[in-house]
Chain A
């Protein structure tokens, strides 16, 4: 058991609104001295908003914040102010300047001077002392870029610790680290904890939370779900709380569906040990015609990355892919397209739409690229194809030539869907196809997915809403912490089973 101290930081009844959206509603958060406290939640839970409110990046409407050692309540108006009060943040992107030395990075903006000129001797000496105290032994005069990202992060932490020594917020620090680096980071965190610091650990890696944290606060849709002690919260319960489900241990009902006659369906996708270093560990899977396969897992578990590795959006570093029985080499998306794949990306604004181009052009582009450089579809053909999908998907647009940026988010999504349907792929990957779409359209799309499957296509369906996937999928692949951890077949599909597989490890049975 870790020794916990007094309450260090308290946030009570925090309300925060953005125009039209409630980001935080009556949220409490407590941090104790000498504690590592995980802050968790799925998409839109409010984690980053809470941090921004605390550190002065955003204003808030209601609530009080108190810090041990500071009189009364306070509001930080800027990250600088937060730092002066003793609250520092280290972000995932390590906001330092790689071209400068380690020592200089630690002291930028507050360089010690001698006779009006910067005192380099002092800078080097002090930063070396600081790092040694934290058990980091490196040459502080070398440029930061010479060191791994893990070390850079620790330098960022050292800087934060030196500037203000009370509360340290780590925002997704382990996302880009490998396992040995995570170990080193945790050693550092434990050391700081023993010095009496309070550390807020924002993360989505389940295993890591159980390895190094004392308490967990879970947020969901802007509200506080609860604060729990790590020792007293089984993994599965944590997953349930994050997903907003009730997990009743005792009422576990396994769903046994009647198995249909086992047609030996044609294998469309056969992946063997495909890996993309840094984003998803080696995985193998098979997807058949008529199958809708779901990818389940928490945010950041590697679902989109797996899809990207299959499609060639991220060129895989190893592995073999067979498509319709033939081995194919996918170096770039065009290879996947030519074989018969389609891919609806998770982030439609950044990777999906061509904002200034018309609805027609956005729908036609994939088919056109597939067709090649020398055969441009005639205006008539293009209009025919475009109209087909405007009707089929009920896309709301003034006309074909409207720039797609003028459409609502949901309609933009339909345009991209139409783009891929037009190419008649054998295998279609849909990454969050119903995100940001109204309920009625969601159902349309789910029905469409089922229809495509019954027509013989293979579909991969990624969604953060488990019910949606359960309604459409016959098989579920589960990921955790960037690794594929198991497959659930048709007769095993249930929310409970999915959550158990996501949670993994520890005391079951």
Chain B
């Protein structure tokens, strides 16, 4: 039987598709909406600004997915975080820094409980995090069923801070030069991304995550502490969900029950589109970043188009996700057959 040698392996293949997809989409945006100033650098930066929270959450989700697990509670945790922040600062007079520390602890504890149930009681991640999703969403309503706007001065100062770039500006109608800017939340998000990258590539813990996702049985036999590693992954993910929620709150400056609906889907989609396998063992945070950027680009394209309903974003992401899931499944099946020869 003829063997088809694949020169580059499947994982790089998927990542390249993602990057090309992003470039293609972005370029088409410039072509289609160049007259509406799609080509401005700020548009590119806005991708990051609007999605700083998603970048952080997708990073955590990538790690969980690599262990062959999943966490669909993150959207609700983000909402719960925003609501908790707003409630603490507005209704309880807590200062911004303490509020931040508290939500981070809450998120970490949430991740711990889920992680313990999953790795020590061996319960299915999907059911546990589904329950977690409903629990957190419900708690958001328990804290307050009404929307709470954040008016805390320190928080708002964080939210409105901008870093301006010394180049790439354009002239506006009045003749002033407007330079592109970036929010500190973006810087924080990138820092988290880089930290996760180093963790995954250069530490024993990070490599254990890959080993467990690839073959849990083998990892166990090779002496890795599977349960503890899995637990820690969910703990970190809980922390990142809360931190991402904080960045999200910097954008919205409010807490309300319906917030971040479907966020977990976006995080999963970003990871999957970025090359993370749902079956585990494969994934990297750089790809997830591009997944987020693709989602952001789709949103921008629809925004600039003007007439399409924003629901098109969700549908397109859903379609892309389906496409990539099916693609992964086909590649996996081909691999099985190839080896049987």
Q: List residues of chain A with CB under 8 Å of any chain B CB.
A: 79-80, 95-100, 104, 108-109, 111, 117-118, 142-143, 145-146, 148-149, 277-278
- State whether A99 touches B224 (Cβ < 8 A): no
Contact with A along B280-309 (1 / 0, CB 8 A): 011000000000000000000000000000
- Give the CA-CA distance A104 to B6 in the complex, in Å: 21
Q: A97-B219, A99-B281 are in contact. Are A108 and B224 (CB under 8 A)?
A: yes
**B37 adjacent to chain A (CB < 8 Å):** no
**B157 adjacent to chain A (CB < 8 Å):** no
**B340 adjacent to chain A (CB < 8 Å):** yes
In the assembled complex, how far is the CB of residue B313 from the closest CB belonging to chain A, in whole angstroms? 32
Q: List residues of chain B with CB under 8 Å of any chain A CB.
A: 6, 9, 11, 198, 201-204, 207, 210-211, 213-215, 217-219, 221-224, 281-282, 335, 339-341
- Give the CA-CA distance A97 to B208 in the complex, in Å: 10
Which residues in B have their C-beta under 8 angstroms from that of A117? Answer: 198, 202-203
Which residues in B have their C-beta under 8 angstroms from that of A100? Answer: 207, 210-211, 214, 281
Q: A108-B207, A118-B207 are in contact. Are A80 and B214 (CB under 8 A)?
A: no
- State whether B215 touches A95 (Cβ < 8 A): yes
- State whether B340 touches A99 (Cβ < 8 A): no
- State whether B207 touches A99 (Cβ < 8 A): no
B222, B281, B335, B339 interface centre (most CB from chain A within 10 Å): B222
In the assembled complex, how far is the CB of residue B152 from the closest CB belonging to chain A, in whole angstroms? 39
Which residues in A have their C-beta under 8 angstroms from that of B223? Answer: 79-80, 109
Q: A108-B224, A117-B198, A146-B9 are in contact. Are A96 and B215 (CB under 8 A)?
A: yes
- State whether A109 touches B214 (Cβ < 8 A): no
- Give the CA-CA distance A396 to B279 in the complex, in Å: 45
Which residues in B have their C-beta under 8 angstroms from that of A96? Answer: 215, 218, 222
Cross-interface CB contact of B339 among A79, A104, A149, cutoff 8 Å? A149
- State whether A118 touches B201 (Cβ < 8 A): yes
- State whether B203 touches A277 (Cβ < 8 A): no
Cross-interface CB contact of B203 among A109, A118, A143, A149, cutoff 8 Å? A118
What residue of chain A has the Cβ atom nearest to residue B219's Cβ? A97
In the assembled complex, how far is the CB of residue A177 from the closest CB belonging to chain B, in whole angstroms? 12
Work out how many contacts link A and B, with CB atoms closer than 8 A: 64
- Give the CA-CA distance A109 to B214 in the complex, in Å: 15
Cross-interface CB contact of A97 among B201, B203, B211, cutoff 8 Å? B211
> Besides A95-B218, A97-B215, A117-B202, 16 other CB < 8 A contacts?
A79-B223, A95-B221, A95-B222, A97-B214, A99-B214, A99-B215, A100-B207, A108-B211, A108-B219, A109-B204, A109-B222, A111-B207, A117-B198, A143-B11, A145-B335, A146-B6
- Give the CA-CA distance A104 to B335 in the complex, in Å: 21
* 21 CB < 8 A contacts A-B: A80-B223, A95-B218, A97-B210, A97-B211, A97-B214, A97-B218, A97-B219, A99-B214, A100-B214, A100-B281, A104-B207, A108-B211, A109-B224, A111-B207, A117-B202, A117-B203, A118-B201, A118-B202, A118-B207, A143-B11, A146-B6
Q: A95-B215, A109-B223, A148-B339 are in contact. Are A143 and B9 (CB under 8 A)?
A: yes
- State whether A118 touches B9 (Cβ < 8 A): no
Which residues in A have their C-beta under 8 angstroms from that of B222? Answer: 95-96, 108-109
Q: A118-B204, A146-B9 are in contact. Are A278 and B210 (CB under 8 A)?
A: no
- Give the CA-CA distance A118 to B203 in the complex, in Å: 6
Which residues in A have their C-beta under 8 angstroms from that of B9? Answer: 142-143, 145-146
- Give the CA-CA distance A277 to B340 in the complex, in Å: 8
- State whether A278 touches B340 (Cβ < 8 A): yes
- Give the CA-CA distance A80 to B222 in the complex, in Å: 8
In the assembled complex, how far is the CB of residue A150 from the closest CB belonging to chain B, in whole angstroms? 11
- Give the CA-CA distance A143 to B217 in the complex, in Å: 18
What residue of chain A has the Cβ atom nearest to residue B216's Cβ? A97
What residue of chain B has the Cβ atom nearest to residue A91's Cβ? B221
In the assembled complex, how far is the CB of residue A117 from the closest CB belonging to chain B, in whole angstroms? 4
Which residues in B have their C-beta under 8 angstroms from that of A111? Answer: 204, 207
Which residues in B have their C-beta under 8 angstroms from that of A80? Answer: 223
What residue of chain A has the Cβ atom nearest to residue B6's Cβ? A146
In the assembled complex, how far is the CB of residue A190 from the closest CB belonging to chain B, in whole angstroms? 27
Which residues in B have their C-beta under 8 angstroms from that of A97? Answer: 210-211, 214-215, 218-219, 281
Which residues in B have their C-beta under 8 angstroms from that of A146? Answer: 6, 9
- Give the CA-CA distance A118 to B213 in the complex, in Å: 19
What residue of chain B has the Cβ atom nearest to residue A143's Cβ? B9
What residue of chain A has the Cβ atom nearest to residue B220's Cβ? A95
Which residues in A have their C-beta under 8 angstroms from that of B215? Answer: 95-99
Which residues in A have their C-beta under 8 angstroms from that of B282? Answer: 99
In the assembled complex, how far is the CB of residue B339 from the closest CB belonging to chain A, in whole angstroms? 7
- Give the CA-CA distance A146 to B198 in the complex, in Å: 25
In the assembled complex, how far is the CB of residue B341 from the closest CB belonging to chain A, in whole angstroms? 8
Which residues in A have their C-beta under 8 angstroms from that of B341? Answer: 277
B9, B201, B215 interface centre (most CB from chain A within 10 Å): B215
What residue of chain A has the Cβ atom nearest to residue B283's Cβ? A99
What residue of chain A has the Cβ atom nearest to residue B201's Cβ? A118
- Give the CA-CA distance A79 to B223 in the complex, in Å: 9
- State whether B214 touches A95 (Cβ < 8 A): no
- Give the CA-CA distance A277 to B339 in the complex, in Å: 12
In the assembled complex, how far is the CB of residue A277 from the closest CB belonging to chain B, in whole angstroms? 7
In the assembled complex, how far is the CB of residue B288 from the closest CB belonging to chain A, in whole angstroms? 17
- State whether A95 touches B211 (Cβ < 8 A): no
B11, B207, B335 interface centre (most CB from chain A within 10 Å): B207
In the assembled complex, how far is the CB of residue A174 from the closest CB belonging to chain B, in whole angstroms? 17
- Give the CA-CA distance A145 to B341 in the complex, in Å: 14
In the assembled complex, how far is the CB of residue A124 from the closest CB belonging to chain B, in whole angstroms? 14
Which residues in B have their C-beta under 8 angstroms from that of A99? Answer: 210, 213-215, 281-282
- State whether B217 touches A98 (Cβ < 8 A): no
- Give the CA-CA distance A99 to B219 in the complex, in Å: 12
- Give the CA-CA distance A234 to B217 in the complex, in Å: 40
- Give the CA-CA distance A145 to B11 in the complex, in Å: 11
- Give the CA-CA distance A108 to B217 in the complex, in Å: 14
